[in-house]
Each structure stands twice: as structure tokens, then as C-alpha cells.
Structure 1
Amino acid sequence: MSNSKYSRLVALGKLWANIELFHPFLAYKNLAWDSALASAIPMVEAAQSNRDYLDAVNFMLSHLGDQSTYALESSLCLEPLSPAKERAMETLLTYTDDGIAVFDLKNYSSSQYCDLKEAFFRDLDELHKLTKTTKSRKLEKSGSHKPPAIVFDLRRDQNYQWANLDALFEEQFADIFCIEDTVASTIRTRMHLGLAPETLKEPGRYISAFLARDAVRFQASSKPLKIPVIFLINWRTNLPPLLHSLQSQSNMYIASEGWLSEGPAETASFNLPGDLLVSIRLSETISPHGTIDIKADKVITVDESETETETETEDPVLLAALVWARGTRRKAKAHEPASGRLTDSWRYGPEEYPSKELRLLAAFRIWAMVAYFFPYIELLDNDWNQILVDMIPEFEQASNAEEYHLTVAKMVSQLHDTHAVLSSETLSNYFGIASPPVRCRMIEDKVVITEILAEKETLLKKGNAVTIGDLIKIGDIVTAIDGVDIKEKFRELSQYHSASTQASLEHVVLQCILDGPESIASLGIETGGKTKLINLARKIKYKGADATKNINTDLNTDVSTGEIAPIAERKDITLEEATRFIDTSKSKKASATSGTADTYDTIGYVDLTKLTREMIEAMFSKFKETKAIIFDMRGYPKLTGNAISERLAQKNSFAIAKVSRPMVLEPSEICQSSETSKDRTVGEGLGWKIRQTEKQYQTSIELIRKSNDWIYQGKTVLLIDERAMSQAETLAMSFKAANGTVLIGAPTAGANGTVTDFSVPGSIRIFLSGEKYELADNTQLQRVGLQPDIAIKPTIEGIRSGRDEVLEKAIEYLSSLEVSCP
């Protein structure tokens, strides 16, 4: 047997085994899967070409009777769409002569998704308003004030680069069409704990099971659009979960082009020799009424669609669907779903001060979510079970909303995770919704003013006009706030904030230490060896500027990663603002210049808190001839890490991190010891323990591949400190792994990994790290941070002199190297 035939058979066997373990049909359908492999082997042995091999594989897969599991040439699904094939947005919405609105969502490319979403909801909003206001321009010819029906055409052809449309049919869509609270469809997948025995020698020790995901609940719209709606699909359509459930509404229908053998599926890809690719079904859809398939209200057969059309470009299936839309339609009412569902975010009601029972529920829920899902529980300073016991009296005794919310914050703070944040209006008011126009950092263990936001703003002092800059200077030390010693204020606030390191805690607390209601802040200031009191107005507009993370700021969650970043002031940043050349020919100090690269002993400087993905190519072009680039990551980036690292890579691919997600497979066993005493205080004699089984994780290595574009060959330096957190730390890890970028500054925040969240009574939402993030060599990052290669911190003297000592150190380091321009 030749090597090629051997490799084909091995791959076929591995494919067969993978499907046996993970394809849901094989768990309950009587399929001759063993015979399928046996019958396919002779065909593989006789195969003379990749096409013959493909036919043999598809013969085996045909025994599953599953349209979602098939083999094909990988080039068919890897070739990107050309611009000429992209759909025009103008063709998204059209109207028939009698006013039926048709949304043609077929075959938009992935790159068009953002534009598609904008156009989609713009047109939907117009339709929604149309039912209450004037008629649409597009309907003027029909004279209709609102469309008699809407058709969403979701069919797919054989091109595999279309956009995923699920996000179009979520909350925003539900807010227009949901007549009543709606539970979406969900999926179930195969799950294995060990290899399940074929006898019952030791029942339950090793099991295989279906894992059904909780379904999402959508809230009813206050003003739903109640006209008839038809979703036109075919077997290639991945029907979004909400649409499947909306079929139960009296005005919602599903029409299919041909019969649907099975519902949509999540799939995995399996590579075969000869550049073949297999799509393997991993899941089944569970409808809200418990069935595992999709039943169309109308099946449009070939005979029905073979009607005469006015032009060759008209779609007979769509025309048949329109005919059905104009006629009488029948529906069946969906039953209550048999599947689980996600917790309703509004389940506890809006009360900010819940009853004692609900306050205790909050404590228990926080304990459970952390015990089961927090990946760094082994890094806590204290036993999590004992923390629960200690906190119970405080939850019971909280006498108002403020005390209760602070108690929740105090419990969460013991996670020592800078990602752990509370979203709470009560806490926002407690910590302060307004700030004075200054920013502080902890420098040499003192609270030092490092930024004045309105230096030239005019105030009246004893009848005289003075500016804020006249009263306070960069480098002044804050000694008190509103009559409270600043160190005491720091200690008070620290117990309500979670932070991975002491430096990160200082940064977090100093974001709100001067805050309060809109009022006058009285600051004790030490300057020039003297102390004085100054009064500055707290204003909402000063709140949250340049804050990396704050417990009481509004949060912005990144859709691609889930990470939390502050909502920054919206403004357009130019490449010139984000980058500059540094002239090192005259001084080792940093100096900004607008000159060209050939004018100076050149080093590029990039502010990664401002640089966007769209600027990366221009940035590299600008600095192509420089001997080095200094990247400044003292803050939060804009999703640029991977794209820049690819252009620094010295290897074809490199690992940057090990990511581990908890796998919760069974409940933990809670035991109560028999040693109790009524004379002891609450919790002392309970002795609760979680059964100490090894925590299970799904672990992967995060890789970055070298760019196909030209690679920057100069030296690179990254400036870091405690303000670099999460995505910023991933960026630093990727730079380091790409080309050995030198880290200069202070340790990073030590909090990384995609964030998750849950809610508790009191209108409180809690965010925390949802996965373990380590360096690729297993080095701990959480609660440690990335360590600089060259350590340096700002000094008070340097702050007062207007120097950036960290940047200066980077320039000094690069200037000491024997480096020539690339």
C-alpha cells in the first residue's frame, strides 16, 4: 500500500472515530456507522485521485443522513470573496407592487457585516415608524401606509464566506417584533467524562451525555410590529435562535425552499489529505417546545416554484413565498420550552435595597459563581468558603441600599482581580458621579497631581479672576480631600475595590478618590514645601477621562473578546496624534517633532492608547526606515496587538499565552461537619468544605502567525506600568514573543482573560475574569503582572519638571545600542 493510500485510510479512521464520539445522531439514532466505515475502506484503497477519495468519504458520511456533515475541497471555502461579488446595500430592502417589504439577506460577505447591520436596522426602524407616521418614499407608488407583510430571505448558496447573521436577530430585533417574552431555541452537544463503559460494572463513573445550553430569554417589545412576517430559508440557512422561537407568535412564519431534513448546527472542521475539509455536526437545535428539528409552516417544492416569471432574474421560490404571504396561513402555538435558559437579567426587579432573604441569596450566588467559575480561586488570600461565612452577618445587617451595595463590593474585592467590577447606580452615587479637573497617580507613595484637565479655566478667588493653573500645578501632592486625610480616604475606598496588585489597587482607587456629587472639592495641597487648601468644582464632564478601570464608571465591553474598557470621549484621532519621530541627535530626552525621518537619528514613537487598527499600515510605513520604535502601552489599547505583532514576528508562528477555561461537569459536594456549638458565633463550627477534586479546564495555546507583509526589523521597546491591563497585557506578551521587544517601566496590572458577568438582587451586575490566562510557558500572570526588563518609575521631581522618565530611559537604552536603520 502506498504512503498516500495509507495516509488516506488513517485520516478516514480518525474522521470516523471523531464523528462517533461527537456527532449527536449517533447517540440515539439506529445508524449503521460501523458498516459505513467498512464499506468506505475499499473505495479509499481503490481511489486514484483526490476526487475519488472525496467521493469515498462522502459515501461514508451519507450514512448519517445529515446535510451539515460533508466533505469538500478546502479551496471552495477558503477563497475570499472578491469586491465585485459583494452585495450592494441598496438591494437589501425592496417592495413589491402591493407593498410587501422584502429584506434580501442572501450572501453578504463577512467584510460587509457592519455596513449590513447599519442598513438593516435603519430600514427596520423606518418600517416600524411607518406604522405610526407617514408613508415611506419607497411605498408611494403603492399608496400604502404600511407594508401588508415582511419577508426576510435568509437562504444561502454554496459560497461559504457569507456573514453570520445571528447578531442581527437579537435584542434590537426582538425590541421591534417580540409580542411577548420569548425564549430562543438552543442547542445540545455531546459531552464525555472519560470513556463510557458498555457494561454497568461501575455505573456513573464514566459517562457520555448531552449538554444543552441555556436558552436566551428576550423581553417583549413595548410597541411590537404585528404585521405578518415570513422567514424564507433553505437547508444551508443557519436559522438564528430567536427566529426559531418567534415562529410560535401568531404573525411569524417560516417558509423553506424544499424539505429540511435537520435543523442548523454548530460544526467543526476536520482536515483530510489532498486539501480536503470535512464539516462535522456537533450540535442539534432544540426548539422552545422541545423538538430537535425545524418544522417549516410552508414548504415550497419544485412544482410550486416552477411558475412563469416576467424576467429571468426573478426568483421563483421568492415569488411562491410572496403568493403564500398574501393568502391564508396556519400556525401552531409553541409550548413552554423543555430546555434550560439563561437567567433573566431583570429577574430580581429594580429594587436597590432587597429583602434580607434576597440579600442572602446575593451572597450565596456570589459564592457559587466564584466557587465554580472563577479561574483564579487558588490565588485568593483567604479561603472562599470562610469569606462567605464571615460576610453573612454583614449581608443580614445592611440597613439600606448603600450599606448593602458596599457589602457586595467588599465581598467581591476579595477576589483580588482588577477585572472584578460592580455596575451599580447606588455605588456610582456613593463613589461620586463628578470629579475635579485633575488626575492623580501614586508616585513615591504620595498622591501626586499628574494632569490638569482645565488648566486655563477661570475662577474667582477673593474677587480676583484666577485660572486653575494658577492654583495648582503638575507635581503638587494631595494631602487631604474634604477634610479627610488622603491616606485614610485611600484605606476606606480600598476595601470596596478589587485589584490584582497593590499598584493596580492604587491606580483603581485614585480614579475616584477625589470624586463626589457635583459640588466643591476641598483639596489639601503640598507644594513648594508649604501646604494650602484650594477649592475646585466637581463636574460630571471631568469624570472618567482616561480612566483605565473604575468600579463606578460606565463600562464598554469589546464584542470580539468580551474585555471591559472605559467608554472614552468620542473624537477622531489622527496618525500624527498617535505617532511621532523622536530626535535623539541632540539630547537623550524625548522631543516631539513634525519633521521627516531622514532629518534625525531616528526613533519612532507610538501611543498605543490612540493608535487604531486602521492606522497600523501607515504607522509602519512612516517608521520603515527608523532604527527603533518605542511603543507606549501605559493605558488601554484599541485591539491592535495581534496586527502589530504579526509585523514584528521573527518566526512563522509563535505562542503568546496558555488560555484555560473552567469546565464544570458536576456539582461540588458540600459537607457539614458534626462539630457545632450554639455558643459559637455564626459560621465558626460549620466547617464547610468543597470536595477537593482537581479543577477541569479546556486549555488552548494562543498563537499568532507571521504577516505576509514586510516585517519591521528595527529594535522595539514597550513602555508599561500598572495602567496596562488585560488586552494591554496580551499585547505586551505578543510583542515579547514576536521579536523579544524590551519591556521598560513597572509591572502591569496582572489581570487578563476574557471577562464574564452575572447579576444579583439590587440591580447589581458583577464582572470578573472568566478564564485563566498564563504565559505560554505556564508562568503566572494574574496577581503578578508582566515584569519589565528595565525597571523604572516616575519621580515627583520628574513629574514637576515635565519629564517622562520612563520614555527617557527607553531612549537612553536604544541610544546605547549599536543599531543601524533597517
Structure 2
Amino acid sequence: MEIQRLAALAAVWGTVKLFHPRLATERFDWDGPLVRAVPRVRTAADDAAFAVAVDEMLATLGDPATGIEPPQEARATTVSSTPAPSPAAASVTHRRDSDVLIVNLRAVEDRLENQDWSAIHAVREEIETSTRIVIDLRMGEETIGSPWTALQQLAPVLVWRDLSGPATRTVVWSGWPPQTRYSSGGYYRGFEQRAVERFAAKQKGGPPRRVVFVVDDRGGVPALAWAMQLSKDGAIVAAGPIRDSSDTRTHALPGGFRAVVRVNEGLWGPLRADTTVPAGKDPIPVAVKLARARVKPAKQWEKNVPLPPAIASDDEPYEGMTYPAVEYRLLALFRLWTVIDRFYPYKHLIGDWSAVLPEFIPRVIAAKGEREWALTLAELAARIADGHTHLSGSAVLDALLGVAPAPVETRLVEGLPAVTRLRDAQAARDAGFRVGDVIVAVDGEPAQAIMQRRAPYVPASTTAAHAQLLAEGLLLGPAGSSARVTVEGADGVQREITALRDFRFYDSSRSAEKRPWHLITPQIGYVDLTQLTSKQVPAMFEDLRQIKALLFDMRGYPHGTAWDIAPRINVKNATVGAQFRRAYHLGVTRVEERSQRILFEQRLPQGTGWIYTGRTVTLIDDRAISQAEHSCLFFEAASGTTFIGTPTAGANGDVTNLRLPGGLTLRFTGHDVRHADGRQLQRVGIQPHVVAAPTIAGVRAGKDQVLDRAVEWLETGE
């Protein structure tokens, strides 16, 4: 039960965090109320005590429209404290108290539901001859529907002059705005202001009509009632507390309780009833008296009260908490789970994300010490299964996964971790490394055991990319430390090597050539996209203008050159390079929330130079991630390039981030990016038309077997 209650607490807290207007406009400490509520929720003796704890958390907002509603039976008891009309009276659509017309809109609505329109016609005729009217909008014990359909039908004869309803605004999220650093995604939080509703009078110029609306706490207050109150053409009598907004989100809680959260606000200020009738008192006589009151009509309500703008959604990182107290550990879990639940564009690929929260609540509570806590959070992040996901800021994770490399690059070749390149040739040779050495052990621990131990904490989009990431990180360790590496060479003999770990070895220059392009054969040009810059693109095309084929090497990360290259190879006259989708959430929603997304096509850039019409081939493997994969999408759309190699990493979409307690930062993908025709890229990667992969023998012989296969394919077509 504790886990269920904490999960419910997380859902309510997250809804307030994202959609309550107050949190969008001021630096309101919403973490504190949660932290104080957690102990009370965990020790709650029953569902009622749990509901009280949640209600006290919500009460810190100072918002009467946000709070806990009791179970339905209790609500019915509360409603029955107001005198109910007799069964006969409840079916009467309208009656008169001398000069005041009293309309029971619930009864009118019931007649409409039975396709009986005579009641509407009869009530409309009575209204047209009346100047003092009471509209009874009480819901009573009804839990479904409202009498507002009938009110829409009557609105033209209730108003004697054209009126404007009050304007409202609601929080809107377009993706998740990054909380540290910059993102190219264009994500933001703001407000959507809804246009005011206009109420046009059927006949203008008649005598002023005064209308009093009677409401209870079971329903909201319609815009017509607000408009007539603001113009002093009417008033509102409340049988109990009323909401100052009709737009809320509701969460079911254990024991039948409900948490109601206001999600919009009126630009005119808070709504208040003219009179609130105590429980047990009939509100109709009070309404009749107000209907007879002589009040001078005000000018049409036009001017809105200025409200503060939306502010950034930065979260407090609590940097000093290397091992936060349990309340703050749960806060971290709730933040991470909520943001991924609402904003991760590939959530449909994760599986049952809703099950992750109750699974990790007990694990977060039970985590002992800084190390266990960091590993728990890292494993949670890895559940996102995205090569863009990265949890940073933890010394424990840095120690586990390592930060500084040795002077060689390691990759899986034929399933074995092997040295595939010398990052720093001199340092690597001095240490005793040879290209093609298979890594057997590091610091006395078998290589396979190291990769298996780290596997749960390394996020990746595909199984192959995950394995390669583990192999690439095999020699990582503390900066300045020495790695004791056991390798096996071509002769089958194992050797012990000691190598320095240093950040300077991250220099991943693949070639020492001044220009990242050259001729492989007289008719085949090679372009290293990990080195080519945008400024070099025109010269590259001029140099390779007359050849029949271009090989683009995308086995790594490019420098934004796709926007310059794609227009120069666009033989298909394509206009679209990729499709994008991102989460779009409104506080007020009338449709299934999961369908709310922004979808758009990314246009290919328009070029001004001549177009290369020869064949193009793009070399790929799992080192192609994000912008590299996006470049592949552009090339695919522009020229139908042939991909040769192995699948790419399958992680694309502008990265955003979230701050967590303990000074941690979680990076994750913010956009769902797809092929121009809508095919899935994430967790699939760019698939090769021709499969080619290195072998241990080829690496040891100094061959680039993927490049060789591409040349063979261009020359033979096979």
C-alpha cells in the first residue's frame, strides 16, 4: 500500500508541477511540500490519513480550486445537506415566484437527453417575457454530464446585450526545455490564451435582464455566468464552495478520494460568488432576492487584468546532497519519471513505463549509501534505452564507468574487444599496444566481466550499440591513472601492458592529411565526414567534380556538413529531409493526451551550386549517432545514397536535459526523428544496403574492410 500511495503522490505532484499556473509564473518551492508530505504518506494509517497528507501538500498552493475531494459516498452526503426538491419538483423545468422566473436546468437537460425539445421552447418563451430570472445549475448527486447543453440553447435569450466571456490562459509545453546548457530543439514552456466566448443577444435594445445563477461544488461555473456577473447583468449564488475555474485535472487516489488540480486561470482575476449559502439552507430564496435587486449594469467587460509571464522551468539541483535523504531520493525519482513520462518522444518504445515507478520506489527507499543510490538512478536512466541518455555529475558513476581513455581505441570485432586504432601513436607504441590486440583483462579483471558489470548502467538504443559502448569504455578510468592491460596478439601470446589514462587521448583525428578527401581510384573519391568542415565543402566538390562516385565516411560524428552537402547531391529534387514529432501538452485538454504532439517536416536546404550527379555511397556503423544519422537521412532523401557497413546507433533527436538532486543532470532525446517517409529510425538505426564489418585478421593487417567492400561494390555492382 505504501508503494501505491507514493506512486499516486508522484502523479499528483507531477501534474501540479507541470500544469498549475502558479508554478509557471513564480519561483514557488514545490519540492518542499512534497518532501514534507513523504513521511506522512509513508506512515499513513489508512487512506483517509493519506488523503489528508496530500491535501496539506496541495494547500500550500493557496488555491481553493486545488485539493482533495472525498469519496463519492461522502460527497453525496455533503450534497444532501442542502435541501433537495421533492421528486415532483425535480421534474419541473420552470416555475415562477411572483415576478421571478426560476429555471431548473437539470430538468431541462434531462428532457433534452430524451429528445424532448418542447421544454427548451417553453422555457425560452418564458425567458423572453421575463426580466428577473434564476437559473438553477446545481448538479446535486449527478456525477456525469452537466446542464450546460441546455444553457447554450438558452444563452441568446438570457442576455439582453452582446457580452464577452472572460478570457483564460493555460500552461503549454512544447517539448521539455533544457535546464542546463543549450538545445537545438526549440523546446519551451509558455501560456496559451483562449479567445473570449461571445454571447450575442437574440433581440437587442430591450429592458435590462438580471439573471442569477445557482451553483454547487459538483460542477464548475459556465462562462456565461462569469460574463453576466462581470457585467453586473447577473450574479452567482453558491451552495457550498465553488471552483474559480471550470478546468481541472483529476487523479483517483486510494480509498475513493480524488485530487483535483486547477490548470488554467482567468485573465480577469479570481472568480467569487456574490453569496455563499451555508450547508442546509435552500439557496433559491437567496437567488430570488438577488434577482430582484436593483443593480446598475456595468459597461461590457473588455479589459483583462495583466498577469505575469511564464518563467523558465529550472529545478533546484541540491548540489551538496551526494547521498540525499530518502525524501529527496524520491523527489529525484518523481522528477525523472514524470518528465520522461510526459516528454520523452520515444516512450512508446520503452515498454510499460508506468510499471517503472512502483518498481523503483522501494529500490530508491532501500538504497544504502552514495554508491548504491547512484547505481540505482543510473539503472533507472538506462531503462530509457537511448544512446542519447546520459547521467552526469556523480563521482561514483565516474569511478565505475571511467572518464579518461588510454592511448588506443577499442571496439568489438567479431565479438571480441580489440584495439582498432592508436589514438596517440607514440604513447600507444611506447606502452606496447599493437592494432589488432585483443583485450583479455584490465587491472586484473577479465574484460568480459567488466563489460557485464557495467552493462546495466550504460544506456543504448540497440543491442549492438550497447555492446560497442561497453567495449569502447573498457580501458576508461581515472585521469592520470595507469591501466594494467592484458592483451593477446596475432601470435596467440598474452602480454601485460601498462598505459597512462589521459584526457588528451580523446583527440580522435582519424587522418593526418591536410584535406579530408582524396581519390581512392581515378573515378572514386573518399570524403572523411568526421574531419570535413562546412567551409571545405565547396572545394571538395570542385576537386571531385569529374569522378563517377563519392564515398562519404560517416563512421563517427560530422561537423554539420549535411546542410551543405545534401543540396549538392539532390538529384531526386527532394524537398523533405526528415520528419519530426515532439510532445505538446496543454493544461486544459479535451482529447486523449497521448495524441497531443507537434508533427512537422524538416525541409532540405536549397542549394545554389551545381549538383553532383554521380553515385554516392555512405559508410556507416554504430559510431554514427544523432547528427551523423540525421546526415544519413538527408543523403538518403537527396540522392538515395547506398549505405554500406553495419547499422548506426539508432539515437536521433535534439537532446534536452533535466536537473536532479545531488547535482546530477540527465540528458535525453527530445524529438522523435524519422525518415522522410515516416519510417522509424530510433532503436533501428540506418540499415545498410550492403553489410560489411571488420575482422580481427583484417584489423591486424591494417585493412579497412568496410571501405574495401564499398569500392568493390562500386566497381562491380555486387
Contact 1:367 1:388 in 2 (8 A): yes
The match for 2:500 is 538
* Cα distance in structure 2, aligned partners of 1:205 and 1:756: 39
Change (3 A) 1:764 1:347: closer
Counterpart pick for 1:760 among 642, 648, 660: 660
Amino acid corresponding to residue 431 of structure 1 in structure 2: L
The match for 1:408 is 377
Contact 1:651 1:706 in 2 (8 A): no
Counterpart pick for 1:748 among 642, 648, 669: 648
* Cα distance in structure 1, aligned partners of 2:459 and 2:309: 36
Counterpart pick for 1:438 among 408, 417, 424: 408
Runs of 4+ off more than 6 Å: 195-200, 202-207
Change (3 A) 1:757 1:541: closer
**CA RMSD across the alignment:** 3.6
TM-score w.r.t. the length of structure 2 is 0.56
Contact 1:479 1:524 in 2 (8 A): yes
Change (3 A) 1:641 1:574: farther
- Where structure 2 has 5 or more consecutive residues not aligned to the other structure, the ranges are 1-179, 183-187, 201-212, 224-268, 270-305
Counterpart pick for 1:488 among 449, 457, 471: 449
* Cα distance in structure 1, aligned partners of 2:198 and 2:451: 59
Residues 253-402 of structure 1: matches in 2 within 5 Å?
A: 338-344=308-314, 346-380=316-350, 382-402=351-371
Contact 1:515 1:538 in 2 (8 A): no
Contact 2:650 2:681 in 1 (8 A): yes
Contact 1:402 1:430 in 2 (8 A): no
Residues 61-72 of structure 1: matches in 2 within 5 Å?
A: none
Contact 2:619 2:706 in 1 (8 A): yes
**1:447 maps to 2:347:** no
SS state of the match for residue 418, structure 1? Answer: coil
Contact 2:190 2:310 in 1 (8 A): no
Amino acid corresponding to residue 723 of structure 1 in structure 2: R
SS state of the match for residue 522, structure 1? Answer: strand
* Cα distance in structure 2, aligned partners of 1:511 and 1:779: 29
SS state of the match for residue 678, structure 2? Answer: coil
Deviation by residue 1:720-774 (Cα, 9 ceiling, x = unmatched):
0111011111111111111111111111111111111111101111110111111
**1:770 maps to 2:691:** no
Q: Which structure has the bigger radius of gyration? A: 2
* Cα distance in structure 2, aligned partners of 1:728 and 1:769: 15
* Cα distance in structure 2, aligned partners of 1:489 and 1:626: 47
SS state of the match for residue 461, structure 2? Answer: coil
**1:607 maps to 2:545:** no
In the TM superposition, residue 788 of structure 1 has moved relative to its aligned partner by: 0.7
The match for 2:390 is 421
**1:515 maps to 2:485:** no
In the TM superposition, residue 708 of structure 1 has moved relative to its aligned partner by: 2.2
SS state of the match for residue 321, structure 2? Answer: coil
The match for 1:581 is 519
Amino acid corresponding to residue 353 of structure 1 in structure 2: Y
Contact 1:575 1:611 in 2 (8 A): no
Counterpart pick for 1:791 among 691, 703, 706: 691
In proportion to residue count, which structure has more helix? 2
Change (3 A) 1:205 1:431: farther
* Cα distance in structure 2, aligned partners of 1:769 and 1:205: 41
**1:500 maps to 2:461:** yes
The match for 2:599 is 699
In the TM superposition, residue 435 of structure 1 has moved relative to its aligned partner by: 2.5
Contact 2:518 2:526 in 1 (8 A): yes
Deviation by residue 1:579-617 (Cα, 9 ceiling, x = unmatched):
11113xxxxxxxxxxxxxxxxx22111000000001010
In the TM superposition, residue 575 of structure 1 has moved relative to its aligned partner by: 7.9
Amino acid corresponding to residue 404 of structure 1 in structure 2: W
Change (3 A) 1:533 1:692: farther
Counterpart pick for 1:468 among 397, 419, 430: 430
* Cα distance in structure 2, aligned partners of 1:509 and 1:667: 44
The match for 1:633 is 554
TM-score w.r.t. the length of structure 1 is 0.49
Contact 2:423 2:505 in 1 (8 A): no
SS state of the match for residue 436, structure 2? Answer: coil
The match for 2:56 is none
Residues 134-213 of structure 1: matches in 2 within 5 Å?
A: 188-190=191-193
Amino acid corresponding to residue 622 of structure 2 in structure 1: E
Deviation by residue 1:94-115 (Cα, 9 ceiling, x = unmatched):
xxxxxxxxxxxxxxxxxxxxxx
SS state of the match for residue 581, structure 1? Answer: strand
* Cα distance in structure 1, aligned partners of 2:317 and 2:653: 28
* Cα distance in structure 2, aligned partners of 1:453 and 1:186: 43
**1:815 maps to 2:715:** yes
Amino acid corresponding to residue 519 of structure 2 in structure 1: F
Amino acid corresponding to residue 350 of structure 1 in structure 2: G
The match for 2:618 is 718
The match for 1:646 is 567
Amino acid corresponding to residue 476 of structure 2 in structure 1: D
* Cα distance in structure 2, aligned partners of 1:352 and 1:378: 32
Deviation by residue 1:352-394 (Cα, 9 ceiling, x = unmatched):
22211101110111110000000111111x4112212222222
In the TM superposition, residue 787 of structure 1 has moved relative to its aligned partner by: 0.6
- Where structure 1 has 5 or more consecutive residues not aligned to the other structure, the ranges are 1-169, 173-184, 208-289, 291-335, 459-466, 547-567, 584-600, 670-690
Change (3 A) 1:578 1:399: same
Change (3 A) 1:602 1:483: same
Between the two proteins, what is the percent identity of the paired residues? 33
Residues 92-103 of structure 1: matches in 2 within 5 Å?
A: none
Segment of structure 1 superposing worse, 717-726 or 506-515: 506-515
Contact 1:433 1:543 in 2 (8 A): no
* Cα distance in structure 2, aligned partners of 1:397 and 1:543: 39
Contact 1:516 1:538 in 2 (8 A): no
The match for 2:538 is 617
* Cα distance in structure 2, aligned partners of 1:446 and 1:347: 40
Contact 1:196 1:206 in 2 (8 A): no
In the TM superposition, residue 468 of structure 1 has moved relative to its aligned partner by: 3.2
The match for 1:524 is 486
Counterpart pick for 1:661 among 575, 579, 582: 582
* Cα distance in structure 2, aligned partners of 1:524 and 1:198: 82
* Cα distance in structure 2, aligned partners of 1:187 and 1:383: 30
Contact 1:431 1:515 in 2 (8 A): yes
* Cα distance in structure 2, aligned partners of 1:399 and 1:607: 48
Deviation by residue 1:244-290 (Cα, 9 ceiling, x = unmatched):
xxxxxxxxxxxxxxxxxxxxxxxxxxxxxxxxxxxxxxxxxxxxxx9
Deviation by residue 1:69-122 (Cα, 9 ceiling, x = unmatched):
xxxxxxxxxxxxxxxxxxxxxxxxxxxxxxxxxxxxxxxxxxxxxxxxxxxxxx
SS state of the match for residue 624, structure 2? Answer: coil
SS state of the match for residue 617, structure 2? Answer: strand
SS state of the match for residue 606, structure 1? Answer: strand
SS state of the match for residue 577, structure 1? Answer: coil
* Cα distance in structure 2, aligned partners of 1:203 and 1:747: 56
